[in-house]
Chain A
């Protein structure tokens, strides 16, 4: 079953229909198709392997139990991400509770976004770094974001949910998602530009 799970012929709605009709193998195929993305997202939000594993299990088990409620108005993937993100946020809140830092802490809404690194990039990072190196660089950059920005960026720009879906999954307004996303993108741009900029380009930074 894993072969069809990795090909373009993967038919999500047919699998959901079969799973709903009681075909356990079809549900397992959905799990195998999406587990790596759910796990990555859980890890990026919780920043912890054990929590991410819990989130992965809880999300798919919950989806199995509640599959009947999935009406197909959204993609199954969006639905499972939403379940998983709720589980991940609960973990995060639980861990942060000791320090009583709420996840939705007021964030600096100053509009004066600044761009300090003004330098073009040296080639494509994919051509310069090994997969492992690049994974490490990108992971580290995402992890350096505050949770409020990180969650929005992970859902919108890594998991490719729409602004609306991201807002719904996180219980935020559209405008909050947009402003957090802008900050997240600009902060990541700064970090990655520091890493990837063309050598000797600093003279170009005249801001």
Chain B
């Protein structure tokens, strides 16, 4: 049986489902038998969910107005995008 420490070390891969089936099963077994790790796993998962469902607020109007103005200025200065300068993708 895994120790709680080992379980925690692999928690991310467990939650992100990037483990091979055998290791995953081993963690699954641990979490089924260890109430503490079950709680940690469950609340970490909920932590991630609450952040994922957290839609960004619109950019404040004045900041957006200044952004679009700066962009317009840039467009006029440079003309259509896509010439010159190289930035690595």
Q: Which A58-92 residues have C-beta < 8 A from chain B?
A: 60-62, 64-71, 73-74, 79, 83
A107: interface (CB < 8 Å): no
Contacts of B12 in A (CB 8 A): 178, 181-182, 185
- Assess whether A113 is interfacial by the CB under 8 Å rule: yes
Q: By the criterion CB–CB under 8 Å, are A36 and B51 in contact?
A: no
Using a CB–CB cutoff of 8 Å, the interface residues on chain B facing chain A are 5, 8-9, 11-12, 35-36, 39-40, 42-44, 46-48, 50-54, 56-59, 63-64, 66-68, 70-71, 74-75, 78, 80-89
**Contact of B85 with A135 in the complex, beta carbons under 8 Å:** no
* A35 interfacial contact with B, CB 8 Å: yes
Mark each residue of chain A from 148 to 182: 1 if its CB lies under 8 Å from any CB of chain B, else 0: 00000000011010000000000000000010011
10 contacts between A and B (CB under 8 A): A21-B80, A31-B68, A64-B71, A64-B74, A68-B81, A74-B89, A113-B9, A138-B54, A178-B12, A192-B50
Nearest B residue to A50 via CB reads: B63
Contact with B along A123-141 (1 / 0, CB 8 A): 0011000000011001000
CA distance in complex: A31, B51 (Å): 23
- Nearest neighbor of B58 in chain A, beta-carbon distance: A36
Cβ contacts under 8 Å, B63 to chain A: 39, 53, 56
What does DSSP make chain A's interface, helix, strand, loop or mixed?
helix
Task: Determine which of B50, B58, B84 lies in contact with A138 in the assembled complex, contact meaning CB atoms within 8 Å.
Answer: B50
15 additional contacts (CB under 8 A) given A61-B70, A69-B89: A31-B67, A35-B59, A36-B57, A39-B56, A68-B82, A69-B85, A112-B5, A125-B50, A138-B51, A157-B52, A182-B8, A186-B8, A192-B47, A196-B46, A204-B35
Task: Classify chain A: how many residues form its interface, as a range.
Answer: 35 or more
Decide if A111 touches B42 in the complex (CB within 8 Å): no
Nearest CB to that of B83 among chain A residues?
A68
Inter-chain contact A189/B43, CB cutoff 8 Å:
yes
Q: With A24-B80, A36-B58 in contact, do A65 and B8 touch (Cβ < 8 Å)?
A: no
